[in-house]
């Protein structure tokens, strides 16, 4: 049987979950024995070369590009894992969900102390290359079906490693009390 292929993506997140993943330290060598790497910011492969078995998704969806990426992952990956607070509930970006999007943009680009002088023409970013912002920040499971959830901000490296090796080897994940934390 060929090795399973792992892909990863960061949507509206801070890359902290990927950093935490790298915190598995030398155990990454054990993992390399078990898996192949597909599309991921870790190896900088930008498109799907082939379908993957397991995908780790960090971050929620706050613009249309995130939605597109997430749907691509659902199409090309067998098991989607929501990693971290942002992927599971929107996290820090979702704190804007109760503020109208117009107010958010005006605060960021027109009214804040650091931008009011730097933006004399009072322009809101409007280049067509830019992804469109959504009305709210959505957790991943509200866009596509997610299969597993690893909570934390970021999830402990031991949690990611334990869950990932369990998924790869088909065993039950051992998740002791200390590794499941929401912060």
> In whole angstroms, how close is the CB of 103 to other proteins at the nearest point?
13
> In whole angstroms, how close is the CB of 28 to other proteins at the nearest point?
23
Rounded alpha-carbon distances, angstroms, from residue 51 to 36, 76, 77, 141: 12, 5, 6, 20
State which residue, 77 or 81, has the beta carbon closest to other proteins: 81
Residue among 36, 42, 53, 44 at smallest CA distance from 19: 42
| Unique residue bearing structure tokens 């080897």 | 169
Cα–Cα dist 51/6, whole Å: 10
By CB under 8 A, the residues from 92 to 121 that bind other proteins are: 92, 94-95, 97-98
State which residue, 38 or 90, has the beta carbon closest to other proteins: 90
- Is 3 in a helix, a strand, or coil? coil
By CB under 8 A, the residues from 159 to 178 that bind other proteins are: 175-178
- The residue count for binding other proteins (CB under 8 A) is 28
By CB under 8 A, the residues from 54 to 73 that bind other proteins are: none
Q: How many CB atoms lie within 10 A of CB 132?
A: 9
One DSSP character per residue, 83-104 reads ESHHHHH-TGGGGGTTS-HHHH
Q: Is 57 exposed, middle or buried (0-12, 13-18, 19+ CB in 10 A)?
A: buried
- Counting contacts by CB under 8 A, is residue 133 touching other proteins? no
Among 27, 36, 74, 136, binds other proteins (CB under 8 A): 136
Stretch that binds other proteins, among 20-28, 29-37, 117-125, 147-155 (CB under 8 A): 147-155
In the complex, the residues that contact other proteins under the rule CB under 8 A are 82, 85, 88-92, 94-95, 97-98, 136, 139, 141-142, 148-151, 153, 175-178, 180-183
């Amino acid at each position: 049987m060929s090795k399973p292929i792992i892909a990863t993506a960061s949507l509206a997140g801070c890359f902290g979950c990927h950093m935490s993943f790298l915190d598995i330290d030398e155990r990454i060598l054990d993992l390399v024995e078990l898996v192949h790497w597909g599309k991921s910011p870790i190896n900088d492969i930008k498109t799907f070369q082939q379908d993957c078995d397991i995908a780790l998704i960090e971050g929620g969806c706050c613009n249309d590009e995130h939605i597109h990426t997430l749907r691509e992952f659902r199409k090309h990956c067998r098991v989607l894992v929501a990693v971290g607070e942002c992927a599971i509930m929107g996290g820090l970006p979702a704190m804007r969900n109760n503020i109208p999007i117009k107010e958010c943009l005006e605060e960021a680009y027109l009214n804040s102390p650091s931008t009011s002088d730097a933006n004399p023409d009072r322009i809101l970013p409007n280049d067509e290359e830019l992804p469109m912002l959504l009305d709210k920040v959505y957790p991943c499971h509200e866009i596509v079906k997610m299969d597993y959830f690893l909570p934390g901000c970021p999830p402990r490296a031991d949690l990611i490693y334990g869950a990932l090796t369990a998924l790869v080897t088909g065993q039950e994940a051992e998740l002791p009390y200390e590794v499941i934390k929401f912060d």
